[in-house]
Amino acid sequence: EQPGGVWVRSSGLGGTFDALAGTFTPAVGATNSTFTYTLTATAPCLDSSSVATVNINPQPIAGTDGSIIICETSTATINLYSLITGEQTGGTWVRNSGTGGTFDSVLGTFTPAVGSTSSIFEYILTGVAPCVNDSSTATITINAQPNAGTDGSTVVCEGSTALINLFSLITGEQAGGVWTRTSGTGGTFN
């Protein structure tokens, strides 16, 4: 093109158009736009124009990460979409870490099972060049179910004053629990 022409925005909205400088700065929300550059001719020549088109591909938004904490005994299906927020539709789910349970990448669900480990699922939206892919993660933390062991009992004579170690009566318990007297009276309970 020769210098000395005039720029006009022919179509589109948004962004910043500077007709004098012949520049366009896109912004979020801007639409596809066309710009016409026209040189005015001296008669009998005709004016000459050319068109510059700026196509704006939307940047995909996969939303904001989210998480949930569940117990290892849970078998309720978790909708992974309910863990992330603000996501656009059309993405795909992949499991980045963790084992066990049933993961459905098409429905975006995870059903834990006994033995499942904490897992991270990623929601990916593919960008159309020059836009880049975007992703968010849904983290499911699985806490172990505490095990207070198996009940046990003993029989003593009412006159007995021998110390009874309550831990010796139950089996398979994990450490860290708290004892509570739930019935009976007398004696010394610690």
pLDDT, averaged in runs of 10, over the chain (190 residues) = 95 96 94 97 95 94 97 94 97 97 97 94 95 97 91 91 91 91 90
> What is the per-residue pLDDT for 158?
86
- The pLDDT, as a whole number, for residue 150 is 94
Query: What was the pLDDT predicted at 146?
Result: 87
Residue 79: the pLDDT is 98
Residue 174: per-residue pLDDT: 87
Residues whose CB is less than 8 angstroms from the CB of residue 139 and which lie 6 or more positions away in sequence, other chains included: 65, 66, 67, 68, 83, 118, 119, 120, 121
Token code pair at residue 107: 């429905």
- For the chain, helix (H) and strand (E) counts, in that order, are 0, 12
pLDDT at 148: 92
